[in-house]
Chains A and B, each alone.
Chain A
Amino acid sequence: MNTGLNRTKWEPYVWLLPSILLIAIFVVFPILIVFKLSFSEISKAGVIGGFIGFDNYVEAVHLPAFKTVMLNTLWWVLSVVILSTLLGFIIAMVLNQKFHGQKIARAIMVFPWATSLVIQASVWNYIIKAEYGNLNNVLLNLGIIRQAINWRSSYQIEFVWECWVGIFVTVPFVTFCVLSGLQSIDGSLYEAATMDGAGFWHKLRHITLPMVRPSLTVSTVLNIIYVFNSFPIVYTMTKGAPAHKTDTMITYLYMLSFYERKKGPATALSVIGFLILCVCAGIYMMTVMRKEEEL
């Protein structure tokens, strides 16, 4: 869209320059550093040595916790993304109806999204404490349980709780994405379908789903990326204990590089994570770009 006025050829680039500089220095440069480090020898004290090929990668893959951590990451991403997409979709469908208090309900749904993850995770950490947690307290007071329950009796259960917190904070994002899709649907479509005798499921399958698919795709891909990158929940609730059994890749590489002083394998893991993200990002980019072309 050219305004038709005189513009030198390089003018757009001047406008872009500050932004490009900012991203290049603080996003692209660290990427390059991580790549370089992953092929370099790093001593325990953090002194960077010469090129050692893929040694860091080999070491990373042979770390005792590597397999557990990768599996955890898979579970973490899959369970959080799938369940929160499902829940968020249902909640969005409900919030899209007209009812009294709709505005209040939407405002409340915003809360978990606006709250810092570390605060959210700390609160849940307190809620499920076995000895004095608030969940037992509330359930006892409501008369739902008779005796305090140990909500974190094993690390598997703790991991499930971490997933729950992940879902809790991710649902609002999906909800608002789907809501924005739902609001773009023309109401007359439903009316026509009702006239033709279509039931709820039929309308859901043939009108709602196809219409919100773009927003659902965007939110799902973004969620995969953000959930994969999520650090504060696991770090606050268990710190990966016991023995990295509840760690995801991100918290594991943090522990490796800043607690266990194994910077070499940690950078290798960073690069692996980065490449996984690249694949997701590529899918996302294609979706968005295609949408751009449609507009």
Chain B
Amino acid sequence: MRYPEIRQQNRRMLILMLAGLILTLILMSLPLYSFDVGIYTKKSGNTFVGDEKYQAVRAEVEAVAEDYRAQGFNVEIEENVLERVNSKGNTTSLITFTVTERYSKNIFAFLGKGLSSSLVAAAILVLMAAALVCELAGLAGTDDLVPRYLGRKSRRLRSGAIAALVLSLLLVPVFILMNNVIFSRQLSLYNAELITEGKDALFAKLDSFFFDGKMGENIGDALGGLKISHSPMIWIWFATLFVSLLAAISLRYGEIKSGLLRGILYVFVAVVCLITLYPYYVMTITAFHSNAETLDMYFLHMFPTKWIWSNLTDIVQRGVPRYLLNSLFVAGGATALAMLCGVPAAYAMARMNFVGKKAFLGFVIMSQMFSPVVLLIGISQLMNTLHLNNTLWGLMLINAAFNQAFAIWLLRGTFVSISSEMEQAAMIDGCGTVGALTRVLIPMAAPGIVTALIFVFINAWNEYTIATVLISTAQNRPITVGITQFSSFNMIEWQYMFAASLLATIPVVILFMSIEKYLTAGLTSGGVKG
């Protein structure tokens, strides 16, 4: 790239970054947050709108409102009428008067108010300023003689600018969530007297945030009816930050169009990953909830109020280790059996010619097609005849048989891809066929064998349907069936269910990730699925 183009690019980059930052600052100074604070509440039962009692209460409330206006609050009176039929069949109503004030706040309003989210707000501002400074300093140090159009130092500075922008971008949702937690969840917990420690300190901070400390002792009532809302503009702010980040990156590496496409790519990947991880997030946090929190909408939260580690010890007492051991036994045994039968078969298929080879291949592929579910009735009948009903052995055999096809198929592929010369040499040196297989081929085919091994193991570990049918006593349950015991008609103990699920999931996910590299290689030929 030549010098004038570089200069032009640098200029464009600066303009884009500046535009993004300025737009962000404008959006930040808009009152994106609004809080409806009830300063005073009065309830009046057994009245009708307009009758004497109503008039009296209304006058009382208006006097209070007037009082607040005199103190400089901008207040309104809200009326909430709830009609109901009493035991005598008469309709009466409960009227609630609330004196509310709407506060609209921008991000700058949070600064210096002692709330934990105000620290985040400050961090966002500082990071954005840092990004700007780094960017400008980086531009100033541009050295047109350096081939990649930037001096090392300025390159570092501009990477720093991008990093600062990324961080501030990540902090935006943190800021929003923290506000929601402080203003609604924590408050409702305090008001319901579920938490008592730290109440005064928080209330004093909120008093200074909303009322400049004027509320004093009435702050509890005032915050009782707090409603918060944030305008969707917050997400525009988020998007703006992101676009300025993109502009910075794209111009650093070249064209705007490809830079934007890259940005969209990152957004897409991020969204897909977040959606994919979402159930795992739910599983993890729920595993550490108390039972009340799992079932109560009232606890609005992203993380447990208190991490209950005793859930883990509780499920130990509820037999989960036993289920895990059962699963390990079934899956391990099934894997061993499937490999013991599968390796010779795959070897024969890969290295020998015989009549009916094709027929056997077809037989194998066909057997892969039938999930045991369609054959459930037949399998349970067969297990009855063999006296293997409700035994782990029966489960193991079924799993081995239904994974046989896949094992053979994948192993055969691996064996075929390895040249047979080494084995021939070994056989000429006096090894038998078995020796050639165990000493030469198997070590060479180790990655493929491990992949097949892990795959069969995971399939057997995750199997659920056959186990529900075959296993009838608690002590023989594998973990997949075991977790369902935490749900019954009248009570579901989600926290235990997910704690056990977590224990059942972590090992297999790790195993699966270890073979992920080989997945893309031998996949379509093998037709693998759990």
- Name A residues whose Cβ lies closer than 8 Å to a Cβ of B: 1-5, 7, 9, 11-13, 15-16, 18-23, 25-34, 37, 91, 94-95, 97, 99, 101, 104-120, 122-124, 126-127, 131-132, 134, 136-138, 140-143, 146, 148, 168, 173, 176-177, 179-181, 183, 214-215, 218-219, 222-223, 225-226, 229, 231-232, 235-236, 250, 253-254, 257-258, 263, 266-267, 270, 273-274, 277-278, 280-281, 284-285, 288-289, 291-292
Q: Please encode chain B, from 357 to 378, with 1 for each CB lying within 8 Å of some chain A CB and 0 for all others.
A: 1101111111101111111111
The answer to whether B369 and A277 have CB atoms under 8 Å apart is yes
The answer to whether A120 and B423 have CB atoms under 8 Å apart is no
The answer to whether B276 and A111 have CB atoms under 8 Å apart is yes
Decide if the interface of chain A is mainly helix, strand, loop or mixed: helix
B314 at the interface (CB under 8 A from A): no
The answer to whether A37 and B512 have CB atoms under 8 Å apart is no
Given contacts A15-B347, A107-B513, contact A116 B300 (CB under 8 A): no
Q: Which residue of B lies closest to A13 (CB)?
A: B354
Residues of A within 8 A of B462 (CB): 114-117
Decide if the interface of chain B is mainly helix, strand, loop or mixed: helix
Tell me the B387-417 residues at the A interface (CB within 8 Å). Answer: 397-398, 400-402, 404-405, 408
The answer to whether B464 and A117 have CB atoms under 8 Å apart is yes
Residues of A within 8 A of B365 (CB): 281, 284-285, 288
Residues of B within 8 A of A107 (CB): 513, 516
CA of A227 to CA of B229 in the docked complex: distance in angstroms? Answer: 42
The answer to whether B376 and A254 have CB atoms under 8 Å apart is yes
| 26 pairs, CB–CB < 8 Å, chain A vs chain B | A5-B427, A12-B353, A22-B401, A25-B382, A26-B379, A30-B378, A37-B378, A91-B272, A94-B265, A104-B273, A110-B516, A111-B276, A113-B530, A118-B483, A120-B279, A126-B294, A141-B300, A142-B177, A143-B176, A222-B527, A231-B465, A250-B374, A254-B373, A263-B377, A266-B377, A285-B365
Q: Which residue of B lies closest to A124 (CB)?
A: B279
The answer to whether B269 and A111 have CB atoms under 8 Å apart is no
Q: Which residue of A lies closest to B181 (CB)?
A: A141
The answer to whether A277 and B370 have CB atoms under 8 Å apart is yes
Residues of B within 8 A of A225 (CB): 369, 371
Compute the total of residue contacts between A and B using a CB distance below 8 Å. 315
Residues of A within 8 A of B27 (CB): none
The segment from B39-47, B443-451, B501-509 found at the interface with A is B501-509
Residues of A within 8 A of B362 (CB): 285, 289
The segment from B79-87, B114-122, B334-342 found at the interface with A is B334-342
B524 at the interface (CB under 8 A from A): yes
The answer to whether B273 and A26 have CB atoms under 8 Å apart is no
B180 at the interface (CB under 8 A from A): yes
CA of A81 to CA of B504 in the docked complex: distance in angstroms? Answer: 27
Residues of A within 8 A of B465 (CB): 231-232, 235, 254
